[in-house]
Amino acid sequence: MLRNLLDEAYSEFLKQDQTKTMVHRGLFSQLYWQRCMERPPRRLHTIIASPGLKESVIDDVKDFLLPETQSWYGDCGIPWRRGYLFSGPSGTGKTSFSLALAGHFKLRIYTLSLNSRNGNEDSLASLSRPSRASGSGGQNDERGRISLSGLLNILDGTSSQEGRILIMTTNHAEHLDKALLRPGRVDMTVNFTLSDRTMSAAIFRNIFSNLCKEVKSQGAAGGACKAPRRTFSEIEDLSEAFAAKIPPGEFSPAELQGYLLHHRGKPEAAIAGAEYWARETILDRIKDEKSVVIASQSSSRDIDSEDVDSEDVDSEDVDSEDVDSEDVDSEEIAPEDIDRPKDIGRPRKDSRKQMTLEEILGR
């Protein structure tokens, strides 16, 4: 009886897991995978990316997971594993798409940060073994860095795991060693981009599509519903109006989503403030970049070799105060006050010249 009860409880536990995406984090210090998160599967249509990007990856993963594909790999003597490199600026959907893929195919996620100070080649090899279950492990007191050769050996060495999908994410693919990107380690490179006009409109529709749903009337008998606040056609037109105010290739999907969330339920207000928000955001970026350059120059400023004759001027004759870097007023290079969230998209009085987006982007 007790055995049957335990089996039934375990079966129910597994059923609950099937409705969620399970995320496990590798702990280098303890040498085991910690179940750190369970989340509802993210729907793929909520991931906004360039046309065809999602479909190409989904089709590739689907084909890889087919039983006949596994048999084909075995017949050809090819290790049954697949590697992807998701590359692109921050906020373009690399991690979100990974979560959505796992939820769509009902796969678990095992995530590792190679920047961990406790990580070394031995601990990485230990975590990669199939017998390393969650909750079991030992201590790892040795600290060090993971070499490229050690990482490559884990990815496709003689003891590397089969039947897995590896997704690597990076903001700068050009900084990666070519050995890491060769076929067999990375089978498909997927480039995520900043939002173009099509993506901006799609993000708007995703945020405000709930306005097209029927709304239940409070206190209505039988749960009667009233008409939706917007039609799909209206949301489509509004999305195009919003996209027309956003310069393409300037903002990540995460940035646009963050702006639109401040106007949740108010699509017209989001459109009205879009151009102002875009202009101010770009101006702030330019100002921050200039601040970094000015601060860097002031800290590294030195005597110009053309201005000082080394034969005529002795080091003792030079007043250190005369050749020291010039004082920089921190108020001049510090970023201006950032608007609070409630002020996003709302025009404010500003002493600087009101420039159009065309003038800003033409710099």
Cβ–Cβ < 8 Å for 193, 52: no
Q: Cα–chain-centroid distance for residue 144?
A: 27
Domain ranges for the chain: 11-191, 197-299+328-361
What pLDDT is attached to residue 325?
41
- Residues forming a β-bridge with 34: 25
**If the chain, 363 residues long, is cut into consecutive pieces of 10 residues, what is the mean pLDDT of each piece?**
78 73 77 79 93 96 96 94 95 95 92 67 61 47 61 74 90 91 92 97 94 61 60 94 97 97 94 96 87 65 50 42 40 39 49 61 63
Could you give the CA distance from residue 265 to residue 260 in angstroms, rounded to a whole number?
9
Long-range contacts of 334-339 (CB under 8 A, 24+ apart): 334/291, 335/284, 335/287, 335/288, 335/291, 336/284, 336/287, 338/284, 339/280
Could you give the CA distance from residue 247 to residue 260 in angstroms, rounded to a whole number?
16
Could you give the CA distance from residue 200 to residue 181 in angstroms, rounded to a whole number?
31
In terms of C-beta density within 10 A (0-12 exposed, 13-18 middle, 19 or more buried), how is residue 83 classed? buried
Could you give the CA distance from residue 246 to residue 194 in angstroms, rounded to a whole number?
12
Distances in whole angstroms, Cα of residue 247 to Cα of each of 46, 206, 242, 275, 324: 22, 19, 10, 9, 43
Could you give the CA distance from residue 314 to residue 286 in angstroms, rounded to a whole number?
42
Cβ–Cβ < 8 Å for 122, 140: yes
Which tens digit of pLDDT belongs to each residue from 168-187?
A: 999 999 998 898 898 888 99
Cβ–Cβ < 8 Å for 273, 256: no
What pLDDT is attached to residue 94?
96
Residue 44 DSSP code: G
Cβ–Cβ < 8 Å for 113, 168: no
Could you tell me the fold of the domain covering 11-191? Rossmann fold (3.40.50)
DSSP string, 235-267: HHHHHHHHHHTS-TTSS-HHHHHHHHHTTTT-H
Cβ–Cβ < 8 Å for 265, 211: yes
